[in-house]
Amino acid sequence: MRRKLVAGNWKMNGSADSIRGLLQGIREGAADVAAVELAVFPPFVYLGLVEQQLSGTAIGWGTQNLSEHASGAYTGEVAGPMLQDFRCKYVIVGHSERRTLYGESDQIVARKFAAARKVGIDPILCVGETLEEREQGVTEAVVERQLKAVLDLEGIGAFVDAVIAYEPVWAIGTGRTATSVQAQEVHAFIRAKLAALDPAVAGKTRILYGGSMKAANAGELLAQPDIDGGLIGGASLEAKEFLAIAKAGC
């Protein structure tokens, strides 16, 4: 049985004050949604604050990105061993904003995935098609290509503890959610691809949906057999809404 994971990607939002308030709200409501695992993904500079506020709770944390390198002359980058220092459980890799705005190729994303695993941090690998790709009918080919880059580098065994987030690019931050049928179709496709290589791993890998998920649509999405949680952007910035999404998954 896969325990659902509801993860909040805060993107480049928040301040020390607002984060303290948000975490207090999440901490206060976490017991009511204990059936679901919660995790938050602050900007790097607030990692220490988040670690301090969440230590001793069941809520996990991580970052939205990491360097593919372990150390060295990479100005502005943050490495996996540094995330380990802050006891990150997860790290998001290959978010569509990283892929499109910062030119991260499938191969770079695969190397970041590997860098996370090397330091014992579970990667959350984001995959998903653009609107144009969906309209051209190549959604599965795109997702398969994105997965293959990681499988080629790391092998199927790498997915035992990893998480995949299917995030159709056209649904991220647009208010336009995939229907539960559309999402389930792609999730089932991803699981089938993993199962063709190792059915046991496929049965364990959590596949999250991301893209304008909110309390109002979470119940239907999270009820699908292959949707094991959500990666939440905008709606994770309000404790009540974030917890309501988690509640829908209980």
Give me the active site residues, please: 95, 167
Identity of the residue, 80 or 234, whose beta carbon is nearer to ligand PEP in the bound complex: 234
**Which residues, at least 6 apart from 172, have a Cβ–Cβ distance to it below 8 Å?**
96, 97, 128, 210, 211, 212, 233
Beta carbon nearer to ligand PEP, 80 or 94: 94
Of 9 and 65, nearer to ligand PEP (C-beta) is 9
Q: Strand, helix or coil at 125?
A: strand
- Spatial distance between the Cα atoms of 23 and 18, rounded to a whole number of angstroms: 9
CB of 155 to ligand PEP, least distance (A): 26
Residue 93 interacts with ligand PEP (CB under 6 A): yes or no: no
128 binds ligand PEP (CB under 6 A): no
- Residue with the CB atom nearest ligand PEP in the bound state: 233
- Distance in Å, CB of 161 to ligand PEP, minimum: 20
Nearer to ligand PEP, 53 or 217 (CB): 217
Check binding of 9 to ligand PEP (CB under 6 A): yes
Compare residues 84 and 224 and give the one whose CB is closer to ligand PEP: 224
Quick one: which of 19, 2, 7, 3 has its CA closest to 245?
7
**What is the distance between the alpha carbons of residues 229 and 183, in angstroms, rounded to a whole number?**
12
C-beta of residue 146 within 8 angstroms of C-beta of residue 113 = no
User: Quick check: 42 binds ligand PEP (CB under 6 A)?
Assistant: no
Q: Is 167 in the site for ligand PEP (CB under 6 A)?
A: yes
- How many residues interact with ligand PEP (rule CB under 6 A)? 13
Report in angstroms how near the CB of residue 12 gets to ligand PEP at its nearest: 11
Distance CA 74, CA 17 (A): 30
Query: Segment 187-246, which members bind ligand PEP (CB under 6 A)?
Result: 210-213, 231-235
For residues 77 and 201, what is the distance between their CA atoms, to the nearest angstrom?
A: 32
Give every CB contact of residue 169 below 8 A, 6+ residues apart in sequence: 96, 100, 128, 129, 130, 131
What stretch of H or E contains 96? helix 96-101
The distance of closest approach from Cβ of residue 203 to ligand PEP in the complex, given in angstroms and rounded to an integer, is 25
Site residues, ligand PEP (CB under 6 A): 9, 167, 172-173, 210-213, 231-235
